[in-house]
Amino acid sequence: MSKPNPTTNYRYTKDHEWAKDNADGTAMIGITDHAQEMLTDIVYVELPEMGRKIKQGERVAVVESVKSVSDVYAPVSGEVIAVNEDLLNHPEYVNQDAFEKGWIAKIKVSDSGEFSKLMDANAYNTLIKE
Amino acid sequence: MKQTPLYNKHVALGATIVDFGGWAMPVQYTNLIEEHHTTREKAGLFDICHMGEIEVQGKDALKLLQYVMSRDLSQEKIGQLMLAVITNEQGGIIDDLTIYKRAEDRYLVVTNACPKDKDLNHLKKAKEILNLSNVIITDLSDQMGKLDLQGPKSQAILQKFSADDLSQIKFYHFIETQLFDHDAIISRSGYTGEDGFEIYMNVQYMPKLWDELLEIGAPFGLKPIGLGARDTLRLEAGYMLNGNEMDETTSPLEVVYSWVTNLDKNFIGSEAIRKQKQEGLKRKLVGFEMLERGIARHGYKVFKNGREIGIVTSGTLSPTLNKAIGMAFVPIDVAKPDTEIEIQIRNITAKAKIIKLPFYKKKF
């Protein structure tokens, strides 16, 4: 069973990424619990380069299961200021805890208005139930 | 999409279903990596009803097969199966298949699912060329079903079920017997690199065979296994997959199939293959493992010193070895084990090393 999607500060994309507004001009990003469940065993995560500037909707990372390769698109625009290097040796963190331990990158957000274009937990829950 | 007689069982088990060459097949039931380990450590049951079965019967059955198959089948004994390839006139591989000798004048040819009709047409064409009117070629694919039981516990499980002493069946041999009073063929063979059996019965008994094997096998740890783990198991064992490692432009000499290609006899394609051999091969299929981060996949480009030299045919993370492995075509002069190559993975190139196949070999 999927874990509940966090409500406070979390926003979602239709491609199953999340962005957590840290309320200090930065955001954590990752893939949702629903996404990791569909991908099953994640065995490899390709992280973005530090300092890279990304636009909302651009490929920012790649997650791979044994069978599949999936692009992760940036939920918000900005600059990559930290990456979760733990995932290099422990890609399974994404399976175990997609919303916290499985974060992929920290972004210095260039347009905080983009958050409002993303789905809240209610809207996302409706999407994945369809 | 076509469905096997077990389709509803796969759905009921919660399998993820994918389109495999026009067939709705289970890619995994619970978890690919677990299914992989279950097969290596205990036993796994695979629905292989999508594969083709063609009977070749008649006084000149061998003569026909000798003209179609790359392998010299003249020494094959009743109760034995042999691996061979069928090639087109240019020497390109149409299919790799197994040939079961059931009687002096009766053979069962087991084909891959997608090229089955091509195989059938090829056999019919050869029959015309040789004018062998006494040979009857029958497509049994809709009547015959097949389950693969693979893994170290396979014999113990099937023995609970069979009156025959299964320990007497040698590797790449088979018996014609009965299971629950109905005809069955059981061969000691498979596509996983483990001990195990391929079991053929009429399709109407497939649901019963499936249910009973899973029930009897449960105490041994037997589980249903999807095509996802079938692919990682075969790749570790160094087995090729038609469509990945071979297509109709691939010579059997370039891949692992030179040992099943006998150029002392004539078969459709043999002339072209002899010519390839005289002229010298340009490329070869090799195994590799990644030395740097990343997983190579089908279609990724291979480089050496910055120059593009080849292509990846299969690649995955090996659950047994916990390494990224794969197979690729590279020029002959690069094909030596331990040679370093680079593989382009999206924006980066990652180092890999050529290694001798197979990646995994069971110690019996």
Instruction: Check residue B363 and give its pLDDT.
Output: 74
- A114 located within any domain: yes
Tell me the mean pLDDT in the region B115-139.
97
Mark which residues 27-46 of B lie under 8 Å from A by CB.
27-28, 31-33, 36
pLDDT in tens, A84-121: 999 999 999 999 999 999 999 999 999 999 999 999 99
What confidence score (pLDDT) does residue B362 get? 87
Whether residue B181 is predicted with pLDDT greater than 70 in this model: the reply is yes
Of B27, B33, B297, Cβ closest to residue A41: B33
The Cα-based distances of B340 to B169, B182, B205 in angstroms read 42, 54, 51
Tell me the β-bridge partners of B186: B175, B199
The pLDDT mean for chain A works out to: 95
Domains annotated on chain B, with CATH: 7-48+142-236 (3.30.1360.120), 52-139 (3.30.70.1400), 282-355 (2.40.30.110)
Mean pLDDT in residue range B179-191: 97
CA angle B102, B104, B108 (to 5 degrees): 35
Provide the pLDDT for residue B2.
96
How close, in Å, is residue B24 to chain A by CA atoms? 17
The residue ranges of chain A whose pLDDT is under 70 are: 1-2
Quick one: average pLDDT of B96-125?
97
Model pLDDT, residue A4: 83
Contact between A46 and B346 using a beta-carbon 8 Å cutoff: yes
Amino acid B364: pLDDT: 64
**ipTM metric:** 0.89
Triad B359, A67, B2: Cα angle to 5°: 110
Count A/B contacts: CB-CB distance under 8 Å: 36
Q: Is the pLDDT of residue B89 over 70?
A: yes
Least CA distance to B31: which residue of chain A?
A40
pLDDT for A130: 77
Give the tens place of pLDDT for each residue, B268-323.
999 999 999 999 999 999 999 999 999 999 999 999 999 999 999 999 999 999 99
Q: Omega before B358 cis (within 30°)?
A: yes
Distance CA A72, CA B285 (A): 33
- Give residue-wise pLDDT tens across range B220-234: 999 999 999 999 999
The domain that holds A76 is classified in CATH as 2.40.50.100
* Token reading at B224: 């249903």
Q: Which of A64, A67, A69 sits opposite B228 (nearest CB)?
A: A67
Residue A3 lies in a domain: no
Distance from CA of B35 to the nearest CA of A (A): 12
- Å between B31 CA and nearest CA of chain A: 7
The predicted structure's pLDDT at residue A1: 58
The domain in which residue A60 lies consists of 10-129
Residues of chain A that touch chain B, judged by Cβ-Cβ distance less than 8 Å: 40-41, 43-44, 46, 62, 64-67, 69, 88
Residue A2 lies in a domain: no
Residue A4 forms part of a structural domain: no
Distance from CA of B290 to the nearest CA of A (A): 13
Q: Which residues does chain A have within 8 Å of residue B32's beta carbon, measured at their own beta carbons?
A: 40-41, 65-67
Please check the confidence at residue B202 and state whether its pLDDT lies above 90. yes
Cβ-based neighbour number of residue B154 at 10 Å: 28
Say how many domains are in chain A: 1
Would A5 be classed as within a structural domain? Answer: no
At A8 the pLDDT is 87
